[in-house]
Structure 1
Amino acid sequence: MQIQDLPYPDPGVPDARSGPRFLWWLGRNQLGGQLKSLAWGLLHFVSVSSLPFCVGLAVQAVVDRSGGRLALTGVLMVICGIGIAVGDTFLHRAAVTNWITAAARVQQLLARKAALLGSGLTRRVAAGEVVAVSTGDVEKIGWFVEAASRFTAAALTVVVVCVGLLVYQPALGVVVAVGLPVLALAVLPLLPRATRRADAQREKAGRATELASDTVAGLRVLRGIGGEELFLDRYRRASQEVRHAAVRSARMWALISAIQVLLPGLLLIAVVWHGVHLARQGRIEVGELVTVYSAVMVLTYPLRHFEEIAMAYSFSRPSAQRAARVLSLERTTDAGGSRAADAPTGDLHDPATGLLAPAGRLTAVVCGDPDAAGRLAERLGGHPAEPGPSVLLGGVPLDELPLDSARTAVLVQDKDPVLLSGTLRDLLDVPASADVRAEAALAAAQCGDVLDALVQGALDAGDPLDARITERGRSLSGGQRQRLALARSLITDPEVLVLDEPTSAVDSHTEARIAQGVRELRTGRTTVVFTSSPLLLDRADRVALVHEGEVVAVGVHRELVRSEPRYRAVVTRETEDEAAAPGTRHGRAAPRGPLDDEAGPRGPLEEIEESA
């Protein structure tokens, strides 16, 4: 696999049983790139390690006054130089390719898993951890995968040089052959402690990052309650903990690096001392002493890769463990599907709760527990949080449909939709039936003032669709973001559209217009709206009350307000005792304050119904 061939047609099925198994699986799936890197690494390291032998031969040729051997040695040094240059160039190329392709494979696997799990991913794994795995952890995993082949080449070179020294000069070769394994293994006892300190640093850094992202996301609220300094102090303390942990980790790695410098120096001293002693006895030639001395000096270069592989594994192992934990997550239902890819049509029915949304009708669902409403909305879209009977669309279980077909048939917009940065045209460029134009969707979602605000914020945008939206739409109010997300959902024009509190952040007048616009635009299509707003409920063809996990009442809004105390308690914000009291003036809604800078107070239910 070359970089220009990315992305992978199929990244494969990972072995996610553990971090080391995942790393091993990655290495096996890049065997061609690993062997290529190993071959170029051997050429480079062997060429570097051959130079001492050439130097020793040259010195001995000068001592023996042999011009022919000196010229031959010069030719050999030129060949070694070419091997060093060629090997280093293509080793770097192969190593970078292995790094990038390994990281790309992991990112594709994570993206595929995120697409498979949908919103269920963030319910089972913290969003900060998902971001950490897909960014920093991917780089560390790629580092170890590409470093493994270079380490193997360095280790083989060390073995070849030791064998060569034993054959070339046994008396000094034994000292080198015994000393080098000691150098390579001397730092092993320190690695567990270094790994623990590195893990502690990453854990503290992760907590600090989550705290920072949460603070930034809630900055508007923090300013409103005067909590900026409090959270800033918390982040200061967290960042100082990260700094202290980083210093402790750096001290350990500095100690390991110092040992890697000290021990080769001691070995070099031992070789020189023993070699000089042998030379004075006449047991070795001067050229042989120079050769062994130079070989020990040069071997410190491949030996540095022993330290690098130890660091790479220490940093990549927890990263691979986190990636494996995410990749091991499975949907609560089968995503492969056993039926044809064509999406069915018809009524949407949930056997678990008894909820029925007739085809082509606008159905409103009232649920006293917002979290339960969110779980039910996800369930209707084929993303159940826990195992259970499958939702039926036209009598066909969504579990038996291929995941792409199920998502094409049923679209769920949750209560906190995300707007990606880019132009408004990019935001609305989504897979759609082409039956709903962008202008119609924006009008139904009452986005006129949003378009004006975007154009005013981007002076170079003549067309509102060319106006840019900042990251997550932070420059817009909550109601504006909500309406743009609703327009995006309307453009897709799915067979079934499930909306979870689509107007919770807009004022009453805008909400009334949105209710009418959605009803008109979705005529003939199945729409399910989770809401407790009387304005939306009054526009619905059918209203279902879900209580304690099952549908307990079905009807139209005005009938349920008069006849169902539990429904009235949710919609009017009364307690069930007040709603059921004989003297209670049924149908009176408690006023709701503004939810953002757009929202206004809501009046009594009679006034709302009159305005509707």
Structure 2
Amino acid sequence: MQIQDLPYPDPGVPDARSGPRFLWWLFRNQLSGQLRALAWGLLHFFAVASLPFCVGIGVQAAVDRSGSRLALAGGLLALACAGNAVGDTFLHRAAVTNWITAAARVQQVLARRAAVMGSVLTRRVAAGEVMAVSTGDVEKIGWFVEALSRFTAAVLTIVAVCVGLLVLQPALGVIVVVGVPLLALAVLPLLPHATRRADAQREKAGRATELASDTVAGLRVLRGIGGEELFLDRYRHASQDLRHAAVRSARMWSLIAAVQVLLRGVLLITVVCYGVHLARAGRIAVGELITVYSSVMLLAYPLRHFEEIAMAYSFSRPSATRAARVLSLERATDTSGAPPAAPPTGDLYDPVTGLLAPAGRLTAVVCGDPDAAGRLAERLGGHAASAARDGSVLLGGVPLDELPLDSARGAVLVQDKDPVLLSGTLRELLDVPASGAVGAREALEAAQCEDVLAALVQGAAAASDPMDALITERGRSLSGGQRQRLSLARSLVTDPEVLVLDEPTSAVDSHTEARVAQGLRALRAGRTTVVFASSPLLLDRADQVVFLHDGAVVAVGGHRELVRTEPRYRAVVAREDRDDLKDVEDLRSLDDLDGLNGLNGLEELEEIEETA
């Protein structure tokens, strides 16, 4: 796999049982690239290691006044330099390729898992941790996977040099053979301390990232209530904690590096002192002494890879563990390995609450607890973690958790309370998998987006065609109501068999809400639609209203019927514990729109107040 071939057609199924197993899975999937890097690494390191032998031959030839051997030494030296240049160049290319392809594979499997988990992911794992895994952790994992081949080449080179020194000069070779392993293993007692400090740094980095993302996402709200300084102070403290943790970690790694330098110096001094003694006694030639000295000097280069692999593993192991934890998460209805199947049709039924949404009709659901309404919306889409335990939602009598994931998502689309608008043009925003029965213009008209289109055309990123207007990240340049209506238009374009909307007009004024309700009903005619709402404007437009209390259906009927017969329903719809001004506007709008016969909207409100 080369960089130009990315992304992978199939990144594979990761081994997410533990961090080390995940790293080993990555290594095995890059075996050809690792072998290529190993081969170039051996050429590079052996060329570097051969330089002292060439220099030793040349010095001894000069001492012996042998021109032929001096020429031979020069030729060998030139050959070693050429091998060093070629090996270093292609080792770097292979190493970078392994790093990038490993990071790309990790990102792909993480993206696939996020797509499978959907909105459940951030409820199982903190959003800051997910961001840290998909950014910094990916780089650290790729670093370790890439460093393995270079470390292996360094180890083989060190072994070869030690064996060569033993053969050339056994007396000095024994010192090198004993000293080099001690030098390489001297850092082991310090590694647990370095690893713990690296783990603490990573934990604090995740916390700081989570605080930063939360603060940026809620900056508009924070400014509205004057709380931005409070959250900024929290981030400053988290940032300082991270800085202190990073300094403590760096101190430990600097200590490890200092120990390596000290021990290399001790080994070199020992070899030089003993070598000079042997040379003065006539037991070794000057060229052999220079060869041994130069070899010990140059061994510092491959020995640095012991320190690097220790650091890479210490940083990548917790990163791989966090990535494996995310990848091991399972969706209750994860049947992605099943063959494709046609989405079923029919009534939507939840056995837990008893909610029944008849096929082809608009069903409004009223629930006094907004959190319970959100959980039920997730269940209807097959996203809830409790689906396997409590029983799956049925669509046309078929459990959603028995359907392949693509079929389940093609059949039921859930738009939550806070849908995300990705940056790009409006045309790109509405370019989603769709049946083709609903066009973008129709969806925008039904969602009452005329003012949104006008704002986009007149904005900073103005365009002659509103479809080419740019939308900033998460739609931050738009108001809450405008974002809601664009999200609704995107859902309408998709035109799923079942559309579940959780408070789709909570940030919209009453008159616009009435027009949205009318457009939604007209565009979704003949399709199953479930709307979680408490606004009389939406409820009155529904074919039926289902009222849930304490997690179960307690009443089903029309909006006006339930207002008359169910006090608990009246309490939720009238928002008796809040200001009733919006309800007055809603009911007046109903009168203006429908010319109600019988019970007048204002009389209905008076009846609600008298009941309360």
Q: What TM-score do you get using the length of structure 2 for normalisation? A: 0.94
CA contact (8 A) 1:275 1:289 kept: yes
Does structure 1 residue 273 correspond to structure 2 residue 273? yes
Query: C-alpha separation between the residues in 2 aligned to 1:602 and 1:559?
Result: 17
Correspondence for 1:116: 116
Equivalent AA in structure 1 for residue 233 of structure 2: D
Structure 1 residue matching 2:448: 3-state secondary structure: coil
Equivalent AA in structure 1 for residue 374 of structure 2: G
Equivalent AA in structure 2 for residue 26 of structure 1: L
Correspondence for 2:556: 554
Structure 1 residue matching 2:584: 3-state secondary structure: coil
Aligned pair in 2 of structure 1 residues 570, 329: CA closer, same or farther (>3 Å)? same
Correspondence for 1:6: 6
How many Å apart are 1:459 and its aligned residue? 5.2
How many Å apart are 1:38 and its aligned residue? 0.9
Query: C-alpha separation between the residues in 2 aligned to 1:428 and 1:166?
Result: 72
Structure 2 alignment gaps of length 5 or more = 594-612
Deviation string 1:468-488 (CA, Å, 9 cap, x unpaired) is 111111111111111110000
Does structure 1 residue 168 correspond to structure 2 residue 184? no
CA contact (8 A) 1:445 1:514 kept: yes
Deviation string 1:9-46 (CA, Å, 9 cap, x unpaired) is 22122111111111111111111111111111111101
How many Å apart are 1:602 and its aligned residue? 4.3
Correspondence for 1:395: 397
Deviation string 1:211-264 (CA, Å, 9 cap, x unpaired) is 122222222222222222222222222221111111111111111111222211
Structure 1 alignment gaps of length 5 or more = 576-588, 593-600
Aligned pair in 2 of structure 1 residues 606, 452: CA closer, same or farther (>3 Å)? closer
Correspondence for 2:588: 607
Does structure 1 residue 591 correspond to structure 2 residue 580? yes
Moved over 6 A (4+): none
Correspondence for 1:39: 39
Does structure 1 residue 425 correspond to structure 2 residue 427? yes
Q: What TM-score do you get using the length of structure 1 for normalisation? A: 0.94
For these two proteins, the number of residue pairs brought into alignment is: 591
Query: C-alpha separation between the residues in 1 aligned to 2:290 and 2:456?
Result: 75
Correspondence for 1:177: 177
Structure 1 residue matching 2:266: 3-state secondary structure: helix
CA contact (8 A) 2:132 2:209 kept: no
CA contact (8 A) 2:333 2:400 kept: no
Residue correspondence of structure 1 range 185-200 to structure 2 within 5 A: 185-200=185-200
Query: C-alpha separation between the residues in 2 aligned to 1:604 and 1:447?
Result: 22
CA contact (8 A) 2:510 2:586 kept: no
Query: C-alpha separation between the residues in 1 aligned to 2:134 and 2:126?
Result: 13
Residue correspondence of structure 1 range 128-143 to structure 2 within 5 A: 128-143=128-143
Does structure 1 residue 476 correspond to structure 2 residue 478? yes
How many Å apart are 1:322 and its aligned residue? 0.4
Query: C-alpha separation between the residues in 1 aligned to 2:434 and 2:261?
Result: 63
Structure 2 residue matching 1:458: 3-state secondary structure: coil
Does structure 1 residue 60 correspond to structure 2 residue 60? yes
CA contact (8 A) 2:125 2:326 kept: yes
How many Å apart are 1:338 and its aligned residue? 5.6
Residue correspondence of structure 1 range 74-93 to structure 2 within 5 A: 74-93=74-93
Query: C-alpha separation between the residues in 1 aligned to 2:569 and 2:487?
Result: 28
Structure 1 residue matching 2:345: 3-state secondary structure: coil
Structure 2 residue matching 1:543: 3-state secondary structure: strand
Aligned pair in 2 of structure 1 residues 25, 55: CA closer, same or farther (>3 Å)? same
How many Å apart are 1:337 and its aligned residue? 6.9
- Of the structure 1 ranges 438-447 and 457-466, higher mean CA displacement relative to structure 2 is found in 457-466
Correspondence for 2:346: 346
Query: C-alpha separation between the residues in 1 aligned to 2:158 and 2:541?
Result: 79
How many Å apart are 1:605 and its aligned residue? 5.9
CA contact (8 A) 1:337 1:399 kept: no
Residue correspondence of structure 1 range 285-324 to structure 2 within 5 A: 285-324=285-324
Correspondence for 2:517: 515
Correspondence for 1:451: 453
How many Å apart are 1:574 and its aligned residue? 2.9
Query: C-alpha separation between the residues in 2 aligned to 1:401 and 1:214?
Result: 35
Deviation string 1:93-122 (CA, Å, 9 cap, x unpaired) is 111111111111111111111111111111
- Of the structure 1 ranges 224-233 and 542-551, higher mean CA displacement relative to structure 2 is found in 224-233
Structure 1 residue matching 2:530: 3-state secondary structure: strand
Query: C-alpha separation between the residues in 1 aligned to 2:194 and 2:562?
Result: 66
Equivalent AA in structure 2 for residue 439 of structure 1: R
Correspondence for 2:437: 435
Query: C-alpha separation between the residues in 2 aligned to 1:32 and 1:461?
Result: 49
Correspondence for 1:570: 572
Does structure 1 residue 17 correspond to structure 2 residue 6? no
Equivalent AA in structure 1 for residue 288 of structure 2: E
Deviation string 1:548-605 (CA, Å, 9 cap, x unpaired) is 2221111111101110112112111237xxxxxxxxxxxxx9526xxxxxxxx44266
